[in-house]
Structure 1
Amino acid sequence: MTDVLGWRGVFGVLAPSTNTVVEPDYYRMAVPGVTAHIGRIHIKDQTLASDSHFEALLEQIRSEINLACARVLTAEPDYLVMGMSAETFWGGVEGNRQFTEAIESFSGLRVATGAEACRRALELFGATRIGVVTPYQAVGDANVERFFTELGHPVAAIKGLRCPTAVAIARVPEDTLREAIHEVDGDDVDAIVQVGTNLSMVSLADEMEQKLGKPVIAINAATWWMALRENGVTDQLSGYGSLLRDH
């Protein structure tokens, strides 16, 4: 039988327990007949004040992600969406491949990751050289840069906001993000990419695309776009960037 509300698709979303942005972002980008259901990855220590703390948080995610996945699978979703992005960039292109393969093998479902969604978006836009905004420490920025460089997208500039805790990411104001976008932009930059699903940037990306005249890819919009399009949902949404509006 078809789900009454999710008659076009029931998505299971895996997100850190500290994340307060990705769930409401997906709600406001909702389309009729598609529902999103969160499986929380328990974060016991959310400190991100150094590279070692950042890597320790990812270790927590690795030890907890299958438990979160198992819980959300009890809702019998049709598809999975990664509501976290750092781990999907870790280890470059091969790291993302292995991560995706592990989740799909465990769940038996296809999965949208932030890294793959950004790859598809950049290819769609024909963008090469990019600027990147992250909430991460240096080690996180290095893995993001590695991923894009391996794909053939040199990173002209990257701005890591060095958020001290996982919940602090959601408290970064729009003005700070706006300044960061301008900092990594330039005449030689084809597109701006924002990663970190707890940064609230889907609406700002739409605003900045119009001001800069180039793609500004917000991770939550890109991953949601990938999830919808992979499931044959072609609804076009305004206010969240050109990916969802025009593609």
Structure 2
Amino acid sequence: MNKLASRKSNTIKPSFTKDGIYFNGKFIEKYGEIDRSTYHADPLHSNKKFGLIVPATNTTMEKEIWSILIDNHNVDSLRGIGFHTSNVLTPKPEINSEQDIERYKTSFLAGLQDAVNIAKLADPDHLILGMSLEHILYGIDQVSTPIDSTIATTNMDWSTCHQAIDLALKQYQAKNIGIITPFEAQGNASAKKMFQDLGYNVVADVGLACGNTQHIAHIPDSLKQSAILGLLDVKSNNLDAIVQCGTNMSFVNLAEQLESRIGVPLLSINAVVLWHALRSNGISDKLINASRIFRDH
């Protein structure tokens, strides 16, 4: 029995109506010499099936995940996994003001359970929440409470942004950090508060002042790089790591380019959440083009 079958030994899949097949309208009994009373693995997901939950405006996280997987297509353990995306409806992506953020928070939290229920229809082994909640919820308690309630409805393991980034920082024994977010003032302050609640000293923080969650994907790499090199990576900051928040802001390629130059980990949120999901499921391979977290831990 394969690994997935052993984990789901109480489930018979696929569910056949009869022990045979139909050919030209005629039933052929016991055709195919297979046992129809036992479990058969999905041949495309013989290792793991992940559910990925992202806001409907997010066009980046899934792309960055698949880019890493494609660049590492020769890694055996990655060949039998799949990612299946469910969107949280966020009809008003503007986050220009306190009222906008409150409206966005309300719609996201109201739609989260529906997105989870949709994701569960794919029968995943593990769920990933691809949303940096720290920009709409103030502090770790506000971030973790609704997520913990949602997780409790699923009876499966999850990877979340705050959980993954905390573990990654602990792997590097980081204490003094810099953060870069796509958010406006309130969202950036909320992100800073979450890391402070987790016990980190946020020495420097940069918010790129994007007022629309859909537009976050369009923030130029040149602006991100300038902020990292000119504002965060300065000697007086003496940082142990730099953390990027905002799953719709691409960052993996930039981290790959800059980590060796700045000498400290550049923790791209999408890479870190993928790292957490894979490592939580026994996939420990070192990967290329995925930032140093995948090579170091």
TM range, smaller chain: over 0.9
1:23 maps to 62
- Per-residue CA deviation, residues 132-166 of structure 1 (Å, 9 max, x unaligned), is 00011222112211111122211111111111211
1:108 maps to 155
1:69 maps to 116
State the number of aligned residues: 247
Distance 1:87 1:108, change over 3 A: farther
SS at match of 1:15: strand
Q: Is the contact between residue 134 and residue 187 of structure 2 (CA under 8 Å) also seen in structure 1? A: no
2:227 pairs with 1:180: yes
Q: Is the contact between residue 49 and residue 124 of structure 2 (CA under 8 Å) also seen in structure 1? A: yes
Which amino acid counterpart does residue 224 of structure 1 have in structure 2?
Answer: L
Which amino acid counterpart does residue 232 of structure 2 have in structure 1?
Answer: V
**Map 1:1-247 → 2, pairs under 5 A:** 1-30=40-69, 31-87=78-134, 90-182=137-229, 183-187=231-235, 188-247=238-297
Gaps of 5+ in 1: none
SS at match of 1:29: helix
- Give TM-score, length-normalised by structure 1: 0.95
Q: Is the contact between residue 88 and residue 115 of structure 1 (CA under 8 Å) also seen in structure 2? A: no
Q: Which has the higher contact order (CA 8 A, sep 6+)?
A: 1
Which amino acid counterpart does residue 80 of structure 1 have in structure 2?
Answer: L
CA distance in 1, matches of 2:129, 2:135: 8
Between stretches 78-87 and 221-230, larger displacement belongs to 78-87
CA distance in 1, matches of 2:180, 2:135: 16
Q: Is the contact between residue 86 and residue 140 of structure 1 (CA under 8 Å) also seen in structure 2? A: no
Which amino acid counterpart does residue 263 of structure 2 have in structure 1?
Answer: G
- Per-residue CA deviation, residues 52-107 of structure 1 (Å, 9 max, x unaligned), is 21232121100101111111110000010011112588342323432331121122
Between stretches 171-180 and 93-102, larger displacement belongs to 93-102
SS at match of 1:18: coil
> As a proportion of its length, which structure holds more helix?
1
Query: Percent of aligned positions with the same letter in both sequences?
Result: 32
Larger radius of gyration: 2
For the aligned residue pairs, the C-alpha RMSD in angstroms reads: 1.5
SS at match of 1:23: helix
Distance 1:87 1:75, change over 3 A: farther
CA distance in 2, matches of 1:191, 1:127: 6
SS at match of 2:86: strand
Q: Is the contact between residue 88 and residue 95 of structure 1 (CA under 8 Å) also seen in structure 2? A: no
Gaps of 5+ in 2: 1-39, 70-77
Distance 1:136 1:157, change over 3 A: same
- Per-residue CA deviation, residues 163-214 of structure 1 (Å, 9 max, x unaligned), is 1211110001110110121212233211100000000101111211111011
Residue 43 of structure 1 deviates from its aligned partner by 1.2
Q: Which 4+ residue blocks in structure 1 deviate beyond 4 angstroms?
A: none
